Structure 1
């Protein structure tokens, strides 16, 4: 059998990979998945669509569009989805786990090093520079997403409203996302021209060839992808207890005030509302972890994001760092390093277990979702709100990176965080400005910018102390 490429030439159809062959490729992707979701999705496209033709262009984009509708890291869910298509549940588990495990192991090691050597002057100087780079990276991410999301005045208005609700009113992040989705759903009925697109990524002239999955469909080998109530109930019966069972057990054994119970409950809730990826939810997580629970201080949250930027896998692994520090500080009699490791492991579990649930439960129904214009419009509005959320994150980080003192000013219902201008750290401001120039003007990669700022931080701290 042959397959046509985009130039009309006939080529041999790709062979169906064995599970072992697929596992090696998923491990390669997991080890090389630096650069956030955009870079990770591009890597998967090259490996799975262009180089191996395991999945066709249109089906790849269709799977990506579905993953964009879900809370959680879309790149990890896309890997799970494609692995599930080719090799059923086991294939999905292998693909999804190998996307997470390398980064989670690296983050665990970095968290251990962080708490052991954080106050060594050299390490402290490195993180001083990393904080400035992280601020520039968040700003660059916001600008990149805004170009795609803010296509008209309605989307700009939603983004501004989301920013003001978070910055001035301290509105809960889930409420902002839910409100944006309702606006998009209503907008589809009142002004569909303004709310079309749903954030879906398309590409004119996409190469028309049959990938492995398309050939499997033709041969009737995708029966596991057919939706049924029985399959859905079985998925719920397995994955809901796997996800929430440990959280309930901790509540019964340790009580609601224990740090492990708090970690399990809080990050389980985050797993349901993390639309828009790590950047979108991080400001809310940071404020809750710093101000509500007291797990860590603002500067440590920025350090965690810097560490997550340097590891493979989903950027949302920054939550593992947060859970590690939370349990390390509230160890309750356990060895602090053991408690921190368990807290990080619990965070990873309750963050990613629901990702498998969303795929195994919902993927068979994606054809029904594909043409749903109301759902597409809701995603469009949520994507616009994410721009405002990231702007709030950038401002929150900027205040805590550039100024030594920040205060909350309450005026009626408004409660913005404002800097004490006299506490400006000129060294951090210079480093952040240079990092932004490197990223935005000269298009340097994320890792070189982080490394350069870390080295510059050491020099600045050494000669200005």
Structure 2
């Protein structure tokens, strides 16, 4: 690992740290459009414009981050920051990548919770909810095309969908089972399980220039166990200390502690990007803990989609609403802000741990074919989980009343057809056509849907 004070230049002379800070702030301010768009922004600025890092080195870093749980774009920024200026460079790059989204969602959360019953807030989010459904379906199509190359991949995806949608099997168990199946499949039938993994890295976030992520061509890194132990102790302590403090100060049953523990667990299993865990997170936050209502989860996702930073930043909204509703220690707003900080901390501190600790070791494993097969199985399962998310969102967008039917260990959500919301269905369908057929970007679709929804809602609400 590079020392914190050492400057490392890849393609040119030493880069001033102050200039790097300004560039990372610029990258953060432009980090809209989900992982593909965020990676494209970094590529355009760092590779094409600044020439601080070469194409191969950029893909080398991206390959590594794709192996990790958590938001790959934020981890890619952290990795390159570490490569350029050591630990302090990684900290600055990673923190700045998260900061704009954190501040934006915090402000929106305060306004949302304080004026949730106001008609203008309901009007704005009426259209956003429907458009978010289209965004999730578009992500399902995009990821499915890449991941489902052979019939075992389709079977894994279908099984994962049934496991979580019908039998409510915990998401971590689904991912573990998929990894095991992929590992065994890679051993006994490598032709069908060694699926090449790709990532779009287009300059404009919409055109598709595919970068094949393979195992070869990486620099050899020789990690030391002494440095690894030291790094693990430092970052592991920073991750665990707030959780232990909360257990001692407010008890294990308080909402602050529950949020910290839940999202710490989530940080370990977020393979496949934010969409892969949204359904699991939504079900737990809504049905198990009661931190928010189904419609509110869609509102939070809309906030994360329309603000800079990682999509997984939606966890902050979940934490804010949980703390806001509890409000027994600090008052509603202050409790919501405190919960936002707690959730953000336990979500993103592990990302720094994975980068600073795991990079040397994971890079050595990139050439192991069975690891690639296991990851192919995980990616296929992610498609099934995202399908579950799409159907879960679709039911809550299109119908105002759902009934749960249980039997033989299974459970199904059955909509009341009389409660269908045709306006929401039309907006969602139009948004999906705009994105899939006409290739219109996510942000224009979201803003247009919000405007259309607001006009419709205002025209149909009482007193309009």
TM-score, scaled to structure 2: 0.91
Q: 2:455 aligns with which of 438, 453, 459?
A: 459
RMSD (Å) for aligned C-alpha atoms: 1.9
* Counterpart in the other structure of 2:91: 93
Q: State how 1:170-185 maps to structure 2 within 5 Å.
A: 170-185=168-183
Q: 1:187 aligns with which of 185, 189, 193?
A: 185
- Report the CA distance shift for 1:447/1:200 in structure 2 as closer, same or farther (over 3 A): closer
Q: 2:65 aligns with which of 64, 67, 75?
A: 67
What is the CA–CA distance in structure 1 between the aligned matches of 2:413 and 2:62, rounded to whole Å?
37
Report the CA distance between 1:24 and its aligned residue. Answer: 1.1
What is the CA–CA distance in structure 2 between the aligned matches of 1:279 and 1:227, rounded to whole Å?
33
Query: Structure 1: which 5+ runs fail to align?
Result: 1-11, 207-213
Preserved contact between residue 14 and residue 52 of structure 1 (Cα < 8 Å): no
Work out whether 1:370 is the aligned partner of 2:366.
yes
- Report the CA distance shift for 1:31/1:260 in structure 2 as closer, same or farther (over 3 A): same
Q: State how 1:298-309 maps to structure 2 within 5 Å.
A: 298-309=294-305
What is the CA–CA distance in structure 2 between the aligned matches of 1:226 and 1:202, rounded to whole Å?
30
Work out whether 1:256 is the aligned partner of 2:252.
yes
Q: 2:354 aligns with which of 352, 358, 361?
A: 358
What is the CA–CA distance in structure 1 between the aligned matches of 2:210 and 2:316, rounded to whole Å?
41
SS in 2 for 1:410: strand
* Counterpart in the other structure of 1:151: 149
SS in 1 for 2:403: strand
Q: State how 1:16-415 maps to structure 2 within 5 Å.
A: 16-197=14-195, 199-201=197-199, 226-415=222-411
- Report the CA distance shift for 1:300/1:259 in structure 2 as closer, same or farther (over 3 A): same
Report the CA distance between 1:187 and its aligned residue. Answer: 0.9
SS in 1 for 2:136: helix
Please give the per-residue CA displacement for 1:195-239, whole angstroms capped at 9, x wherever unaligned.
214525599998xxxxxxx9xx9xxxx9xx641001101101100
Query: Structure 2: which 5+ runs fail to align?
Result: 1-9, 202-208, 212-217
Preserved contact between residue 198 and residue 210 of structure 2 (Cα < 8 Å): no
- Report the CA distance shift for 1:334/1:370 in structure 2 as closer, same or farther (over 3 A): same
What is the CA–CA distance in structure 1 between the aligned matches of 2:235 and 2:153, rounded to whole Å?
36
State which drifts further: 317-326 or 159-168: 159-168
What is the CA–CA distance in structure 2 between the aligned matches of 1:118 and 1:413, rounded to whole Å?
37
What is the CA–CA distance in structure 2 between the aligned matches of 1:428 and 1:126, rounded to whole Å?
13
What is the CA–CA distance in structure 1 between the aligned matches of 2:362 and 2:15, rounded to whole Å?
24
Q: How many residues align?
A: 439
SS in 2 for 1:194: helix
SS in 2 for 1:275: coil
What is the CA–CA distance in structure 2 between the aligned matches of 1:431 and 1:395, rounded to whole Å?
16
Please give the per-residue CA displacement for 1:165-198, whole angstroms capped at 9, x wherever unaligned.
1111111111111111111111110111112145
SS in 2 for 1:436: helix
Preserved contact between residue 401 and residue 416 of structure 2 (Cα < 8 Å): yes
Please give the per-residue CA displacement for 1:308-328, whole angstroms capped at 9, x wherever unaligned.
001101000000000000000
Work out whether 1:449 is the aligned partner of 2:445.
yes
Report the CA distance between 1:351 and its aligned residue. Answer: 0.1
What is the CA–CA distance in structure 2 between the aligned matches of 1:62 and 1:243, rounded to whole Å?
27
Report the CA distance between 1:59 and its aligned residue. Answer: 2.0
SS in 2 for 1:415: strand
State which drifts further: 154-163 or 344-353: 154-163
SS in 2 for 1:409: strand
